Amino acid sequence: MPLPPNSRLLFIGDSITDAGREPMGEPAPWGTPGLGRGYVSLVESWLLATRPQDRVRVFNRGTSGHTVRDLAARWQADVLDLKPDTVSVMIGVNDVWRQFDTPLRAETHVLPDEYARTLEDLATRTLATLAAPSRLVLATPFFIEGNQADPMRVRMDEYGAIVRRLAAKHGATLVDTQAAFDAVLAHAHPMTLAWDRIHPQPVGHMVLARAFLSALGAL
């Protein structure tokens, strides 16, 4: 799914996408600082280094702490109004995490049915604006834990399966971030990728950037 020249590539998600971005979520005139310090800036840097003639404009609309419920509330302003040519959605970590770190605050929990229903609604709204279904990129949430029997890993895999089903149903491009991390976890401890198994360190963001670039046909 190669990126067209002179196109607009938008990433939206939670803190993993946010990665300390500037409020406008666009690069500064000299490069990547406005896109944060994570995988989005790495993707933009790769495109600038390898395809400068294509002038692909990258937007970061990640917001720390957000769930798919929060994305729905800002979808019009942060996605549709910007008229992107390719939209990448990675959400679900907080939808799952809140079920474990604040188990008594049920109002903050986004359970699988709501997650699937909301994500599909956002996908449907967005597909109507894109030139092809493959221009919608759906990325699984992940938990950087090699023990697949860990309760939070089990739950995260359930949400990842929802994303895979939606991508297949709608013909969207899938980025299986959990599989990308699992390949590295076969040889490295989780703490080398993310101290809390959620927020990647630089090498973890490189794992993500590689997975996204491969899906975007840019490697």
Under 8 Å between Cβ of 207 and 185:
no
How many CA within 13 A on the CB side of residue 215? Answer: 26
Instruction: Please identify which of the residues 66, 109, 199, 205 carries the catalytic annotation.
Output: 199
Q: Residue 217: which residues within 8 A CB-CB, separation 6 or more?
A: 1, 2, 3
Question: Which of these is catalytic: 101, 121, 196, 214?
Answer: 196
Sheet harboring 57-62: ordered strands across? 57-62, 8-13, 86-90, 136-139, 173-175
Please say if 196 is a catalytic residue.
Answer: yes
**Distance in angstroms (rounded) separating the CA atoms of residues 48 and 171:** 28
> Catalytic residue at 199?
yes
Element containing residue 90 per DSSP (H, E): strand 86-90
Determine which one of 14, 15, 109, 176 is catalytic: 15
From the list 38, 19, 15, the residue with the least C-alpha distance to 205 is 38
Q: Where in the sequence numbering do the catalytic residues fall?
A: 15, 196, 199
